[in-house]
A and B are shown apart, each in its own frame.
Chain A
Amino acid sequence: MNIKSLKSGQEILFSGVIYTARDQAHKRLVDIINNAGAQNFVPLPFDLKGQFIYYCGPTATPKNKVIGSCGPTTSSRMDEFVEPLLKKGLLGMIGKGRRSKKVRNLIKKYKAVYLLAPAGCGALLAKKVLSKKLVAFKDLGPEAIYRLEVKDFPVIVGIDSLGKDTYEDLCD
């Protein structure tokens, strides 16, 4: 996907791989990055370069289903963790709601993108997931990192790579 061609407010159907991570997983990822080179150094559980993180903690997977309900959670809680991940090459974030001015500027700086998934539509989004695989932090339960393969996952471009925000009028 050519990130730079995406324009804020544009609707797209995303197909590809996304990694779920929310509050606690972000804290751990950033701890790992900050701890790099230390004696008890552990590598990141997956290479962030060119990847998308989805702010989501799905419900448990019901029998005969790929995944449970899996809508986006509020992105702004992850604002403070964004920079180190972008530095590691993260390409995009998917969530719901507004971001801070700082995140807007970081997205512009690193030529990344922020996508909005339909908020409160976890059942609808579950139908767009083809596979789910545990990647890291199993002990976090629904907050663990999962690799999801999605097809025609509906999203709206929240902040494009030029830093233009579709919620401009609602932001300070």
Chain B
Amino acid sequence: MNIVKLKNQVEKAVARASFNLRPDVKKLLKRAYRFEKNTRARKALGWILENARIAEKEKLAICQDTGLPIIFIEAGKDVNLSGRLIREIEKAVESGYRKNCLRPSSTEPLIRKASYQGVIFHVEFSNAKGLWITIFPKGFGSENKSQLKMFKPTVSIAEIEEFVVSAAKEAGPESCPPFIVGVGIGGTSDKALLLAKKALIGKVDRPNSDKVLNGLEKRLFKKINSLNIGPMGFSGKTTCLSVKVKKAPTHIAGLPVGVNISCHALRSATIKV
């Protein structure tokens, strides 16, 4: 593997994630703009679309909260993943932030000194070939509203839905609606929240291939959009652009459900090395 080329690719992905709004998100925003009747809500959606246009053209960050960089790595069976390789990716993320004037939003947690460090890695192995790297800068206006609930194994789907809808309601105007809501069902407490976050990486304008989850996503989408929070909290029909659910096997004694909310500026970029 050519490390120089890899680092260059990672740096470019950092810039792409921060400057170019994802096409699937842009598509849903445009649809919402056409659909929305409320004058102030339309105004807000207009600002959001104009912002995306300026960000792309001027190479300015879509949002000054350039987030904590979360890196999802999927290593295929032909990839020799080493600590050194991970360190090189980490360095490339840091330099990508620096070179593109992206705000160092990371800080030491107690004395709170700002720095570019604090890249978070999640590594998974797959049966496919190649190395997939996803840069996912997560802003904290929405991350602060993450929720986890450890349900009983006998919980009804309706109760789970209620929990997700209440999480979106509590997120409110501070989390920059319209949201994209990620939900993780199953696993352990950490796994449920990770699934909720991973749900935001895939294309959010496509139906879920799992029939049960697709039905759940549709119901949640409808319920959240009847909260009347609307773009920037100005009421209207568009409180969320999409809901995405992922599941994993869990323990017979429980059912963890995690909710990870993304603001309208859902950003990520994936590269194959």
Contact = CB atoms under 8 A, between A and B. Distances in A.
- Do A and B come together as binding partners? yes
B102 A59 contact: yes
- CB-based closest 8 A-B pairs: A97-B174, A123-B55, A69-B61, A121-B51, A60-B101, A123-B60, A124-B51, A122-B64
A71 to B, nearest CB: 5
A15 B46 CA distance: 21
Interface in A114-159: 116, 118-124, 126-127, 140-143, 154, 156
Interface in B180-217: none
Interface residues of B, number: 43
Contacts, number: 136
A70 interface: yes
A103 interface: no
Nearest to A154: B47
A116 B44 CA distance: 11
Interface in B101-155: 101-105, 112, 114, 141, 144
Q: How large is the interface on A (under 10, 10 to 19, 20 to 34, 35 or more residues)?
A: 35 or more
Given A62-B101, A124-B50, A141-B104, A68 B172 contact: no
Nearest to B66: A59
Classify the secondary structure of B's interface with A: loop
Given A9-B40, A119-B232, 7 more contacts: A61-B101, A68-B101, A122-B51, A124-B47, A124-B54, A126-B58, A143-B114
B88 interface: no
A114 B164 CA distance: 30
Contacts of B44: 118
